Structure 1
Amino acid sequence: MNFISSVISRLIAGSASIAGLLVLLLVVHVTLDVIMRFVFETPLNSTILYVSAFYMVGIAFLPLAAVEQKDGHIAVELLVEKFPQKLQNFIAGLALLLTFIVTATVAVRTGDEALAKYLGGAYSIEAGGKVITWPTYLSLPIGFGLMSIVAGWKLVCMIMGRPHGLNALKIEDPYLSGGDSQ
């Protein structure tokens, strides 16, 4: 079970890292566009297309599994926390099952769309140039697919009565981790 948890955690870390890299690329790209536009009066071509089709889509969908791994999605616990523990566990299991079904369905559907865009060689024309856009369609099936794997794994572990063992990315503040205990 530790091996499966480790593999899933690494996949999640990889997709979240790609999303983080996309944030950095977005900042660099937009900064260069602004500098080129106002200093040299020659803006970069297709900046809006790259930002909206490439960067933002990946930034929004690739970290879905990382959020699910940390139980970071929106949850309404106001009423449920008053229920008996067995009912709370049942509801949590039902939520995981529904999350698994919905996200797996969305992953398959968006995967079909990504394949169609790849086979059709999807592109956009911007500033007189052809920009291939089919790779942008891969973010959705990857993000939703990993999220469904996380939800499914958590459900399996819940049914077996074992911890899911998914290790969330840990980012430590170097100023706080110097051994000071407060």
Structure 2
Amino acid sequence: MRFFQRLLEPLISAMGLVGLICVTLMMLHVTTDVLLRFVFNLPIGGTITIVSNYYMVILGFGSLAVAESRGAHVSVEVLTELMPRNVQTGLASMAALLGAVVFGFLTVRTWIEAMAKMELGAAMQQGTMTIPVWPSYFALPLGCGLMVLTSLWRAGALATGAPSTFGPDMSDLENYGDPKDE
């Protein structure tokens, strides 16, 4: 498990960095567009298309594995918290395996779609500009594929009793930053 984690951790860190860059670029792009639009009446062409088809798609799908690696996905534990710890761990491991299967199917399907969009040279018209959007379709299989690997790692870690998160563990947010801990 440790070997697999050492291979996976840099990939997930890189995706986290890409997400950080996307958020920063999106913020700068939109802010600059708003300032130029309302102060100088010179909007940046294609802002809506670029923000919605590049920044947001990359950020949304790239962050899946980052959240999974930190145990930060939303989970509802109404019944499972009443079960013994080993049953909870087994269910969490099975859920991670099921997630890997589902995201595996998504990876294949989104890869097929990305290839089709690339062959078509998919683009969007915004005003007088034509903006190619086919490259953004590859963010989906990349993000889903990394999620598959992360889910498999997490399932294996849970099954073997190894630590199932790396980076800050976000699974216990109710006690995160609790003043009595200080």
TM over 0.5: yes
User: In the superposition, relative to structure 1, how do residues 169 and 159 fare at CA in structure 2: closer, same or farther (>3 Å)?
Assistant: closer
Mapped contact 1:107–1:144 kept (Cα < 8 A): yes
Q: Deviations over 1:88-133 (max 9, x none)?
A: 2221122111111111111111111111111221111222122110
Instruction: State percent identity of aligned pairs.
Output: 35
What is the aligned partner in structure 2 of residue 168 from structure 1? 167
- Tell me by how many angstroms 1:10 deviates: 0.7
5 Å-filtered alignment, 1:12-161, equals 12-161=12-161
| Alpha-carbon distance, 1:169 to partner | 6.2
Secondary structure of 2:156's partner? helix
Compute the displacement of 1:157 (Å).
Answer: 3.0
Count of residue correspondences: 171
Q: Which segment drifts farther, 88-97 or 66-75?
A: 88-97
Q: CA offsets, 1:141-176, max 9 Å, x none? A: 111111111111122233344345x53269xxxxxx
Any conservation in 2 of the 1:13–1:169 contact (CA below 8 Å)?
no
Q: 1 or 2, which has the higher helix percentage? A: 2
Q: 4+ runs of 1 displaced by more than 4 Å?
A: none
5+ residue gaps in structure 2? 170-180
Give the direction of change, closer, same or farther, for the CA distance of 1:169–1:12 in structure 2 (3 Å limit): farther
CA-based RMSD: 1.9
Q: Which residue of 2 aligns with 1:176?
A: none
Q: For residues 141 and 46 of structure 1, do their structure 2 counterparts lie closer, same or farther at Cα, with a shift above 3 Å needed? A: same
Q: 1:169 to 1:25 in 2, by over 3 A?
A: farther
CA contact (8 A) 2:19 2:59 kept: yes
Amino acid in the other structure paired with 1:18: V
In 1, the alpha carbon distance for the partners of 2:90 and 2:2 equals 25
Q: Is the 8 A contact 1:68 1:151 kept in 2?
A: yes
Q: Partners in 2 of 1:60 and 1:9 — Cα distance?
A: 19
- Give the conservation status (yes or no) of the 8 Å contact 2:93–2:156: no
